[in-house]
Amino acid sequence: MIEIRDLEKRLSPEFTLRIPSLTIEDGERVALIGPNGAGKSTLLRLLAGLLKPDKGAVTVTEGKDAVGYQPQTPYVFKGTTEANVRLGDRGGTDIEKLLKDCMLDGLRDKKTDRLSGGERQRLCLARTLACNNRLLLLDEPLSAADIETGEALCGVLLEHCQANGVTLVMSTHLPRQAFEIATKFLILYHGEIAEYGDAATLNDPQSAFGKRFLSQWKWE
């Protein structure tokens, strides 16, 4: 479980992330959405323990060893695609299935410095899933994927979370991904929560910004 109380994190004179109260239960899958600069990446880094709040507290009951974090810019190590994915394996992971599911089986021997942006992103997702963490914090993990690939990877991520009881917080700017994966939706606007709730939130937003922001999303 994740609990946030009286959180404040100032990033500049013009921007402070403020979350008075937020609880994410075990097994929930939260889509973190909002415009650029709303505080999505900052919140994920606070949850991962990479940033410390200026005020308030972030409590993750799973413990640091159970948390997997994937930043927006994929990071790969020197070597082959397969070797990179295997770095995440703590034992018991079916790496062959993971390579196939993430459409990397044909790239297993390819050197990471020759991978495209989308391929690097898929590699990082596979390596993160190989760790079998109880909490996943993913920052735009599928942003470089085309529609077909993105939908397939959404299915892989959803299956992984459901099969292993994983709690997920994932930022995305793609409505289809959010709708397919999430059980809850958190809309940030200028460092504050504009909306938080289940799918009904998307149909009946209460804030003026939520109504304006969601009206721009195209779910077809």
Q: What is the SS3 string spanning the chain? A: CEEEEEEEEEEECCEEEEEEEEEECCCCEEEEECCCCCCHHHHHHHHCCCCCCCEEEEEECCCHHHEEEECCCCCCCCCEHHHHHHCCCCCCCCHHHHHHHCCCHHHCCCEHHHCCHHHHHHHHHHHHHHCCCCEEEEECCCCCCCHHHHHHHHHHHHHHHHHHCCEEEEECCCHHHHHHHCCEEEEEECCEEEEEECHHHHHCCCCHHHHHHHHCCCCC
pLDDT tens for 14-62 read 999 999 999 999 999 999 999 999 999 999 999 999 999 999 999 998 7
pTM: 0.93
The predicted pLDDT at position 212 comes to: 87
Is 197 a member of any domain? yes
Residue 25 domain boundaries: 2-74+134-215
**Structural domain includes residue 142:** yes
Has residue 108 been placed in a domain? no
Give the pLDDT of residue 114: 96
Residue 94 lies in a domain: no
Please check whether residue 96 lies inside any domain of the structure: no
Best CA proximity match to 142, nearest among 159, 161, 165, 125: 125
CA distance 6 to 136: 23
Q: Which amino acid is at 73?
A: T
Does residue 168 form part of some domain? yes
- The pLDDT tens digits of the residues spanning 152-168 come to 999 999 999 999 999 99
Q: For the segment 185-206, what is each residue's pLDDT rounded down to a tens digit? A: 999 999 999 999 998 887 888 8
CATH code for position 46 = 3.40.50.300
46: in domain: yes
Q: What is the pLDDT of residues 102-135, one digit of tens each?
A: 999 999 999 999 999 999 999 999 999 999 999 9
Cα–Cα dist 147/172, whole Å: 14
Q: Is residue 220 part of a domain?
A: no
pLDDT of residue 220: 43
**Number of domains into which the chain is organized:** 1
